[in-house]
């Protein structure tokens, strides 16, 4: 029976990780293995037999196993191209090279090959044959991402790829990554991939996948030797000195929204803890950045600013970019952060424009996912006001906006050296919104191009108010 191994396998000294590459024919598995290891070890031609290679990758001892491509059987491959073997034994031998079990399976898909219903079922059949918990250990690895072009993104590819691709990504827990094998010396992408691998290991409490007995019985003796060797290593550790469980980072996906020049980019940098967004110049396109913050994996998208006085004042390009921000957070954002500078007064017209933008772009349910994020907290600090006092002084329009958003709000002082200490509380409030929306924890945005139409207050050092 398929199950999990008998010992937690975090290997604090060696940090060994076993990665199994599985995919269809001509999807770039061998090239991907070479990119991960940083050296040419797998022949980049037709793979007829499984092969394994080990190397040190950013502090991990990584064993990568390449396997022959699975036959699609749909006649869609180029007849002039040599076909890779689909012999189940070749796949089994690849699994054996990962004995006693892979930590992560990279399901390799080429962005240039459409995923049909038939191909999806073939992949599901082979993966589910490995073991009952296989999906918890699987990441979709997209290759050929250079074909997406300069402005392309994986999220758009997944959406445009149709239901079979979306279904497969969802079965893998929406874990995916894009690897550009034409840039093997670009090691940052490999480092990011290894961090995702490590997240999978942590989410599985350090366990590797113990594969189904059908695979083990082919080489039962070799398999048992490998399992027993690993168990002896595990049992030699002093578990009382190590945490038995490392909680996985909670993923929080957020979009920064609002008028031009209200401090969205600076707020995003404060949340992330590094300079991920350019400050001091106008944001032209939606940008996504990610960081580990207070035990969470935080993904933030910065967006171009809206017009201050009407939805019509906001160009169609900006509306589309704002809509695209949701695509960058597939399958959807957990929270919409509506950024307001505390130095700006809110009139009835301004409130109407903000709410109209939100509804036009994100639909009628926008308010239940929205938190008002006040910026320019240094201005309040200088006056000695609390944010609650500011709200009372802000007038009825500000109170109405907050009530519409369920009174979810937070203030950031990005200029203070202690500004980063305000971020954990903000993330706690986002998690409260997720809990409140328990049956629909994120805002699903259907891609629909058609749905995507100045203040009197003095400026400050943080904002660039018009």
pLDDT at 409 over 90: yes
Buried b (16+ CB within 10 A) or exposed e, 271-306: bbeeebbebeeebeebbbbbeebbebbbbbbbbbbb
Q: What are phi and psi of 84, to 5 degrees?
A: -80, 155
Provide the phi-psi class of 30: left if phi over 0, else alpha when psi is between -120 and 50, else beta: alpha
Give CA 108 to chain center in angstroms: 17
- Section 59-68 average pLDDT: 89
Residue 73 confidence (pLDDT): 55
- Section 361-386 average pLDDT: 86
pLDDT at 36 over 60: yes
Task: Give strand ranges (E) for 132-249.
Answer: 138-143, 176-179, 209-210
pLDDT at 256 over 80: yes
Please write the tens of the pLDDT for every residue from 1-29.
333 333 343 434 457 899 999 998 889 99
- Section 393-416 average pLDDT: 88
Question: Do the domains 3-241 and 250-451 sit in the same CATH topology, yes or no?
Answer: yes
Q: Which top CATH class is 250-451?
A: alpha beta
Residue 151 confidence (pLDDT): 61
- Angle in degrees, 0-180, between the axes of helices 29-37 and 187-203, rounded to the nearest 10: 100
- Section 159-177 average pLDDT: 90
Residue 407 confidence (pLDDT): 93
Residue 371 confidence (pLDDT): 96
Residue 205 confidence (pLDDT): 80
Give 214's pLDDT tier (boundaries 50, 70, 90).
low
- The alpha carbon dihedral of 291, 294, 295, 297 has a sign of negative
Query: How far does the chain reach from its first CA to its final CA, in angstroms?
Result: 66
How far apart, in whole angstroms, are the C-alpha atoms of residue 381 and residue 394?
16
Please write the tens of the pLDDT for every residue from 417-431.
666 788 999 999 999
Residue 62 confidence (pLDDT): 92
How far apart, in whole angstroms, are the C-alpha atoms of residue 121 and residue 116?
9
Contact 430, 252 (CB under 8 A): yes
State whether residue 50 is helix, strand or coil. Answer: coil
- Section 141-153 average pLDDT: 82
Domain ranges within the chain, ordered by starting residue: 3-241, 250-451
Q: Which top CATH class is 3-241?
A: alpha beta
Quick one: CA torsion of 190, 195, 197, 199, rounded to 10 degrees? Answer: -170
- Angle in degrees, 0-180, between the axes of helices 316-327 and 348-362, rounded to the nearest 10: 60
Residue 90 confidence (pLDDT): 52
Give 340's pLDDT tier (boundaries 50, 70, 90).
very high
The residue assigned the tokens 């072009």 is: 149
pLDDT at 382 over 80: no
Q: Which residues neighbour 3 within 8 Å (Cβ) at sequence distance 6 or greater?
A: 131, 132, 133, 210
Residue 215 confidence (pLDDT): 52
Pairing mode, if any, of strands 370-375 and 409-411? Answer: parallel
Report the largest interatomic distance among the alpha carbons of the chain, rounded to a whole angstrom: 79
Mean model confidence pLDDT for the chain:
79
- Section 303-318 average pLDDT: 87
Residue 92 confidence (pLDDT): 67
- Section 135-147 average pLDDT: 92
The helix or strand, by DSSP H or E, that contains position 300, with its residue range, turns out to be strand 296-302
């Amino acid at each position: 029976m398929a199950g999990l191994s008998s010992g937690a396998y975090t290997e604090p000294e060696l940090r060994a990780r076993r990665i199994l590459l599985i995919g269809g024919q001509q999807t770039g598995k061998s090239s991907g293995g070479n990119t991960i290891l940083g050296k040419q070890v797998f022949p980049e031609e037709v793979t007829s037999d499984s092969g394994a290679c080990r190397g040190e990758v950013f502090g991990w001892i990584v064993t990568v196993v390449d396997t022959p491509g699975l036959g699609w059987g749909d006649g869609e491959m180029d007849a002039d191209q040599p076909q890779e073997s689909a012999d189940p034994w070749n796949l089994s031998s690849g699994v054996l090279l990962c004995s006693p079990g892979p930590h992560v399976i990279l399901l390799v898909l080429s962005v240039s090959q459409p995923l049909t219903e038939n191909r999806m079922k073939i992949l599901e059949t082979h993966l589910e044959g490995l073991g009952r918990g296989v999906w918890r250990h699987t990441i979709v690895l997209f290759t050929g991402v250079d074909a997406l072009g300069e402005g392309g993104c994986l999220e758009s590819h997944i959406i445009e790829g149709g239901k079979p691709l979306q279904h497969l990504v969802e079965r893998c827990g929406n874990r995916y990554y894009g690897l550009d094998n034409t840039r093997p010396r670009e090691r940052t992408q490999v480092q990011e991939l290894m961090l995702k691998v490590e997240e999978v290991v942590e989410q599985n409490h350090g366990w590797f996948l113990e594969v189904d007995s059908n695979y083990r019985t082919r080489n039962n003796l070799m398999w048992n030797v490998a399992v027993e060797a690993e168990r002896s290593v595990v049992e030699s550790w002093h578990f009382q000195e190590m945490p038995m469980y490392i909680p996985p980072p909670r993923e929080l996906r957020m979009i920064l929204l609002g008028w031009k020049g209200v401090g969205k980019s600076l707020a995003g940098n404060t949340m992330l803890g590094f300079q991920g967004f350019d400050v001091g110049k106008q944001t032209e396109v939606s940008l996504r950045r990610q960081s580990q913050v207070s035990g969470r994996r935080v993904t933030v998208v910065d967006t171009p600013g809206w017009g201050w006085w009407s939805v019509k004042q906001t160009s169609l390009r900006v509306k589309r970019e704002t809509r695209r921000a949701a695509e960058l957070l597939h399958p959807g954002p957990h929270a919409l952060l509506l950024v307001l500078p505390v130095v700006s007064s809110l009139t009835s017209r301004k409130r109407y424009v903000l709410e109209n933008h939100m509804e036009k772009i994100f639909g009628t349910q926008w308010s239940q996912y929205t938190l008002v994020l006040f910026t320019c907290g240094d201005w309040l600090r200088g006056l000695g006001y609390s944010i609650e006092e500011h709200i009372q002084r802000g007038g009825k329009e500000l109170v109405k906006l907050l009530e519409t958003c369920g009174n979810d709000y937070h203030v950031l002082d990005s200029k203070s050296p202690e500004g980063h200490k305000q971020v954990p509380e903000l993330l706690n409030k986002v998690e409260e919104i997720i809990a409140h929306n328990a049956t629909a924890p994120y805002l699903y945005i259907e891609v629909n191009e058609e749905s995507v139409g100045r203040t009197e207050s003095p400026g400050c050092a943080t904002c660039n108010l018009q």
